[in-house]
A and B are shown apart, each in its own frame.
Chain A
Amino acid sequence: MSNLSENLERQARLSTMAQAPADRLIALCKSAGVKVPHSVLRAPEIGTVMVRGRAGAVGAAFNLGEMTVTRASVRLNDCSAVGHGYVQGRSHEAAIYAALVDALCQTDQGSALMASVIIPLQEEKAAHEGARGARAAGTKVEFFTMVRGE
């Protein structure tokens, strides 16, 4: 594996794609022309991940329940870059696209794909979070202290 900053970039793009709605990831990948010749190292597979919590939020780890995850791995025919894709949910197509984007980001197409796929997904998530956060802030209680005799 390469240096730390490359790993951090890779971690960020894989995390972004994993959390993105599958239909958005697929749509952005299609319009970015991500489907390039490749071989499938690990065919798309639906599985689970056991989610753990901690007693009292900070104490002993315990098994809370599982979540569905789909993963796939590919190798590009041109340059033999290997890409891994993990996505929440059960979309084979999204997992393959995530793996392809991961592989292509190791080539000279990296910055183009960041701009056409990863950053839009991050912006959409931020916008969604922002709207939800604002909605929550609207339900924050403002206490008035009642002072007698004034």
Chain B
Amino acid sequence: MALSEPSVTDTMGGGFANPPRDAAIAFRAALDVMARPGVIREITGGHPPLPLSPAAGSLLLVLCDPETRVYLSPSCDTDAVRAWLRFHTGAPLVAADKADFAIGPWDQLCPDLARMRQGVQDYPDRSVTLIVEMDHLAAEGVRLTGPGIKAEAFLNLPETTAFVANARRFPLGFDTFFTSDSQIAALPRSTSIEGAS
């Protein structure tokens, strides 16, 4: 069964070509970056419609299913993205305050952040995971320390204040993936952040 190259505007195409293998590789990348805050990895396999990046699309393919609620920020909330997500993941699309995953550029997610799920004392995991689309990812900017970081790491966060406040609320709060083109990095709530170097 030959596989033709799917176009990015095609809402039925753009899934993993070899789901078990591709999903395992993409999941490993997501796991690695969340376990080692600041590390930047390639994550590929998914070809979502624009404006989603291949990295964000691949991440959504491995993390989402009919039981994960997804919020799309205004710029991502297009018919093509909705149809693509529905076909490939079956994930229900919801308002920001109900979401398990919220995706979009930082300036669009930030205003709704206070309304999003931050976990409860008994179940801190009942919180949102952000997927922040970035122009580029680089190991520069704020200094990161904490679990999963041997000495220190650096990452170009879109802003500092919100993430510093988030780390202070631990074990409550949110976790964040940053995606750009085919690259991914992450910042869990357990990481301490010091101002730009």
A and B touch in the complex (CB under 8 A): yes
B2-50 residues at the A interface, CB under 8 angstroms:
2-4, 6, 12-13, 15-19
Q: Does A65 contact B (CB under 8 A)?
A: no
Number of interface residues of A (CB under 8 A): 13
Nearest chain A residue, comparing its CB with the CB of B65: A47
> Contacts A73-B12, A75-B12 hold; do A42 and B87 have CB atoms under 8 A apart?
yes
Distance of A71 from chain B, by nearest CB (Å): 10
Q: How far is the CA of A82 from the CA of B4 in the complex (A)?
A: 14
> Contacts A75-B12, A82-B12 hold; do A42 and B1 have CB atoms under 8 A apart?
no
B15 touches A41 (CB 8 A): yes
Selected contact of A39 from candidates B1, B16, B87, B88, CB within 8 Å: B1
A42 touches B2 (CB 8 A): no
Question: Which applies to chain B's interface (DSSP): helix, strand, loop or mixed?
Answer: loop
B79-112 residues at the A interface, CB under 8 angstroms:
87-88
B3 touches A39 (CB 8 A): yes
Selected contact of B88 from candidates A42, A75, A82, CB within 8 Å: A42
Distance of B60 from chain A, by nearest CB (Å): 15
Apart from A42-B15, A43-B17: 7 A-B pairs, beta carbons within 8 A: A39-B3, A40-B3, A41-B6, A41-B13, A41-B87, A43-B15, A43-B19
Q: Which 7 A-B pairs have the closest CB atoms?
A: A39-B4, A41-B12, A40-B1, A43-B19, A39-B3, A82-B12, A42-B15
24 contacts between A and B (CB under 8 A): A39-B1, A39-B2, A39-B3, A39-B4, A39-B13, A40-B1, A41-B6, A41-B13, A41-B15, A41-B87, A42-B12, A42-B15, A42-B87, A42-B88, A43-B15, A43-B16, A43-B17, A43-B18, A45-B19, A73-B87, A75-B4, A75-B12, A77-B4, A96-B1
